[in-house]
Chains A and B, each alone.
Chain A
Amino acid sequence: MRRALKITSLIAAAGFVLTACSPAAPEAETKTLKVVYQKTDSFTALDTLFQSAKQEFEAANQGVTVALEPIQANDDDYGTKLALALRSPSTAPDVFYEDTFKVRSDVDAGYLLKLDSHLEGWKDWDTFDAGAKAAGLGDDGGTYAVPLGTDTRAIWYNKKVLTAAGVSVPWEPRTWQDILDTARKIKASDASVVPFNMYAGKATGEGTVMQSFYELLYGTESELYDADAKKWVVGSPGFTDSLAFLKTLYDEKLAVSPAEALDANVWKKVFGEWLPQGKMGATVEGSYTPSFWQKGGSYEWAEYGQDMGVTAFPTQTGQAPGGVSMSGGWTLAVGAETKNPDLAFEFLATALNRKNSLAFNIASSQIAVRKDVAADAGYQAANPFVKDVSELVAVTHYRPATADYPRISAAVQEATEAVITGAKSPEQAAADYDTAVKGIVGEAKTVAQ
């Protein structure tokens, strides 16, 4: 049966190629849409989404085959592989899964198709949250990608561990000092527990900045990028303070050991072992955290709803707005070189219709960007933390998605790594970061604080 399917699809593909080659050929009878997305052992929700969208789409469009091509890779490697595929029209997918922070630079590269005319005729577009729509904008103001969902970051803490250390729950730290005080208390009561983990170093890649460093930096008076002046900030005291905070956490052994932090798989231990086994007090992680623990997740943990608590990451001294969160999220985009732009968009619209969005947002613990999904009772009851993490959208920040950003992010990761390994002092690491930034974007595109 499968073999027969393979052979038919091969013949279909061959037929398509042949008809595509001859200019005088009549309207092609079979067309193939190539869809590229990410799939890992612990992230299969997207695969499920596309499988069901494929069925739905093929049933509605006779003669069109959707070829799903999942890439097994982590976020970093997925980005690299996708960019390599997009470089040539012969390998570029028709529809693909795209990180929000790569949208602008990939639009600059000419990889993405402008969707404005298609979106006009799509009635569902009105149900998308206005803020989330901005994620798909290119520098020219056109929309190039449609969001699947978004996320926020928060502190996830184990109530049992905190209670055992004499900390009252629900825990609501107001300042950085509150975090250190609580972490020291936990350490004093049980030395075998990791009190408060924050990622650092290059091994955890973008996780280091999204789920750790930026929660600190954006809670100070400094920023990473001056959006009005379109310049990168250097010499900021907040940058040094944030590094110093990480140094304190690691020096006092309140976080994992530096060696553990520099293991790219450390997050698997956080989700799979330390938090469920009560070996960790708290960690900074994304709103998608419950997806690992809920039924069908990679680290099923039936009691997580009772045992875990969630709270906003505080600002440095408790200044307004009182909390910090970071948001990213992923989108679907259509390849600029696609031969069937209408069909490709139609597939995108099928994948993101109400039914499929709802299922995906629940399965991957994403914050819904469609208002009708957000209002759905099933979505709201998906896990006990939906409401808490959704409220963080009010204090959230987005990364400056310029073409230089990946390199800047790497420079930040390097600074955290230098500090937690003791290779440099926070001042030194911050100064080296400034030098690196000037080297990356040029002195003229930096602004001193």
Chain B
Amino acid sequence: MAVSLRRDRSGHRRRHSGLRRQARLLPVLPAVVLLLVFLAGPVLWAFHASFTNAALTGRNARSPGWIGFDNYARLLSDPLLPLSLGLTVLFVGGSAILGQNLLGLTLAVLMRRARRTVAAVVGTAVVAAWVLPEIVAAFAAYAYFSRDGTLNQLLGGLGLGQTDWLYSFPMVAILLANIWRGTAFSMLVYRAALNDIPGEVTEAALMDGAGGWQRLAYITIPMIRGSIATNLMLITLQTLAVFTLIWVMTAGGPANASTTLPVLAYVEAFKFGDIGYGTAVASVLILIGVVFGAAYVRLLREGKP
């Protein structure tokens, strides 16, 4: 690599460009290897396991056998699949695509106009939830929504009736908890994007008499379209994988009312020891992630002029 760089400087640029490009890839190599080993490896393993009857205990633990598409056939006829698919879509759509995304954008827009101290205080409060380790955030959310929790005490203080949120409205509680936890990420992405909009463009729009909403709809949003797509992709994939938050708050209950796909995969693989079936559920989850990812990549491409 050092050799090729020296030659570049001495003017043999064209002749060595191929070599140079290859040399440039060298520093990336360890990262690629790590990705293959720790990301692609488990994904491939999960796909493989989903075609076997591997188990934690019993005869199949000793000698798991290849059973083809049996796990998937069983999954398709499992009444829990449509329910947990629906809940997963509701969770991702409600807490990430709508909740975190819109709230993050709103906060970012408002914070540009707000006074510096107000913006700092709001920013810190929002980022605090994001900085917490997931398990701590999950316990905090549990403490907030539980029967004797903060929310009910606040409601009681206001003279309002108390509700057992985690029991009566588990998905509402989980959606709100995930919005609380994840909004900071969207807010940070959008703040950075808004700062990149050239002042002249906004000024020009102002001169043409565009109001606040018009500027947002015709100037701001189109100009940060790329950031929106990137942000949506990242938060969608993050939210698809959320497990700890739900497990701590409701463990998928009551009566499966909050069993999203990751919870279902965990329960099947580790509670019932049916690793083959659990990985089949996980594979479906991976496929959903791929579909979402591909959709956002298209959106990103269309966004480019």
B62 with A80: CB separation less than 8 A:
no
Given contacts A259-B147, A259-B164, A262-B167, contact A201 B59 (CB under 8 A): no
Residues of B close to A258: CB separation below 8 A? 167, 254
Q: Does B271 contact A (CB under 8 A)?
A: yes
Cβ–Cβ < 8 Å partners of B273 in chain A: 80, 83, 406
User: Which of B57, B77, B271 lies in contact with A108, CB distance below 8 A?
Assistant: B57
Interface positions, chain B 246-305, Cβ under 8 Å from A, are: 251, 253-256, 270-274
Smallest Cβ distance from A425 to chain B, in angstroms? Answer: 14
Q: Find out whether the CB atom of A421 lies under 8 angstroms from the CB atom of B57.
A: no
Known A80-B56, A87-B56, A108-B57; contact A407-B272, beta-carbon cutoff 8 A: yes
B 161-190 binary contact with A (CB < 8 Å = 1; else 0): 000101110000000000000000000000
Instruction: Tell me the A36-95 residues at the B interface (CB within 8 Å).
Output: 76, 80, 83-84, 87
Tell me the smallest distance from the CB of B83 to a CB of chain A, in Å.
12
Q: How many residues of B contact A (CB 8 A)?
A: 26
Say whether B58 contacts A108, CB under 8 Å.
Answer: yes
Q: Which B residues are CB-close (under 8 A) to A102?
A: 57
Q: In residues 232-273 of chain A, which contact B (Cβ within 8 Å)? A: 258-260, 262-264
Q: Is the CB of B271 within 8 A of A76?
A: yes
Give the residues in chain A near B270, CB-CB below 8 Å.
80, 84
- Indicate if the CB atoms of A421 and B272 lie closer than 8 Å: no
Contact call A108/B59, Cβ cutoff below 8 A: yes
Q: How far is it, in angstroms, between the C-alpha of A262 and the C-alpha of B78 when the chains are bound? A: 24
Contacting chain B: which of A165-173, A298-306, A410-418? Answer: A410-418
- CB-based contact B58/A109 at 8 Å: yes
A427 within 8 A of B: no
B167 contacts A259, C-beta separation under 8 Å:
yes
Most chain B CB inside 10 Å of its own CB: which residue of A83, A84, A264, A410: A83
Contacts of A111 in B (CB 8 A): 57, 61
Q: Which range contains the number of A residues in contact with the other chain?
A: 20 to 34
Residues of A within 8 A of B77 (CB): 439
The 8 Å CB contact of B59, one of A202, A259, A264, A403, is: A403
Q: Are A110 and B56 in contact (CB under 8 A)?
A: no
- Minimal beta-carbon separation of B145 from chain A (angstroms): 12
Residues of the B chain whose Cβ atoms lie less than 8 Å from the Cβ of A108: 57-59, 61-62
Residues of A within 8 A of B62 (CB): 108-110
Q: 0/1 per residue, B34-61, Cβ < 8 Å to A?
A: 0000000000000000000001111111
Which A residues lie within 8 Å of B74 (CB)?
439
A158 vs B78: C-alpha distance in the bound complex, in angstroms?
44
Is residue A203 contacting chain B, with contact meaning CB distance below 8 A?
yes
Question: Assuming the A-B contacts A262-B167, A406-B273, are A83 and B57 also in contact, with contact meaning beta carbons closer than 8 angstroms in the complex?
Answer: yes
> A421 touching B56 by the CB < 8 A rule?
no
User: Cα distance A111–B56 when bound, in Å?
Assistant: 10
Please encode chain A, from 381 to 407, with 1 for each CB lying within 8 Å of some chain B CB and 0 for all others. Answer: 000000000000000000000010011
- Which residues of chain A are within 8 angstroms of B60 by Cβ–Cβ distance? 109
Complex contacts, B254 vs chain A, CB 8 Å: 201, 258-259, 262, 417, 421
Once the chains are docked, how many angstroms separate the CA of A418 from the CA of B257? 11
Complex CA gap A122/B129 in Å reads 59
A105 at the binding interface (Cβ < 8 Å): yes
Q: How far is the CB of A445 from chain B (nearest CB, A)?
A: 14
8 Å CB interface, A93-130 against B: 102, 105-106, 108-111
Interface centre among A108, A260, A423 (most CB of B within 10 A): A108
CB distance from A265 to the nearest CB of B (A): 11
Query: Which residues of B have CB within 8 Å of A259?
Result: 147, 164, 166-168, 254
User: Residues of B contacting A423 with CB < 8 Å?
Assistant: 255
Cβ–Cβ contact B255 & A109, under 8 A: no
Q: How far is the CA of A80 from the CA of B268 in the complex (A)?
A: 12
B213 to chain A, nearest CB (A): 44
Is A80 within 8 A of B271, CB to CB?
yes
Q: Which of A83, A262, A407 contacts B253 (CB 8 A)?
A: A262
Q: Closest approach, in angstroms, between the C-beta of B29 and any C-beta of chain A? A: 30
Q: How far is the CB of A277 from chain B (nearest CB, A)?
A: 16
In angstroms, Cα B255 to Cα A403, docked, is 24
Give min CB distance, A418 to chain B, whole Å. Answer: 6
What's the nearest-Cβ distance from chain B to residue A258, in Å?
Answer: 7
Across the interface, which residues of A come within 8 angstroms of B147, CB to CB?
A: 259-260, 263
Contacts of A407 in B (CB 8 A): 272, 274
Q: How far is the CA of A202 from the CA of B61 in the complex (A)?
A: 25
Q: Say yes or no: A109 contacts B251, CB within 8 Å.
A: no
Q: Which residues of chain A from 132 to 154 have a CB within 8 Å of any chain B CB?
A: none
Complex Cα gap A421–B271 (Å): 22
Closest residue of A by beta carbon distance from B163: A259
Contact A203 B251 (CB under 8 A): yes
Residue of A with least CB distance to B250: A262
Within 8 Å CB of A439, what residues of B? 74, 77-78
How close is B224's CB to chain A, nearest CB, in angstroms? 44
A402 CA / B51 CA spacing, docked (Å) = 24
A80 to B61, CA, bound (A): 13
| Pairwise interchain contact B61-A109, C-beta atoms closer than 8 A | yes
Shortest CB distance A143–B (Å): 19
Contact mask for chain B residues 137-167; partner A; CB cutoff 8 A; 1 contact, 0 none = 0000000000100000000000000001011
Contact A203 B253 (CB under 8 A): yes
Write the nearest CB–CB distance from A159 to chain B, whole angstroms: 30
CB distance from A207 to the nearest CB of B (A): 15
Given contacts A262-B167, A410-B271, contact A201 B61 (CB under 8 A): no
**16 more CB-based (< 8 A) A-B contacts, given A83-B273, A259-B164:** A76-B271, A87-B56, A87-B61, A108-B62, A109-B55, A109-B62, A110-B62, A111-B57, A201-B253, A201-B254, A203-B253, A258-B167, A259-B168, A260-B147, A262-B254, A439-B77
Chain A contact residues, CB within 8 Å of chain B: 76, 80, 83-84, 87, 102, 105-106, 108-111, 201-203, 258-260, 262-264, 403, 406-407, 410, 414, 417-418, 421, 423, 439
Which 3 pairs show the lowest CB-CB distances between chains A and B? A403-B58, A109-B61, A259-B167
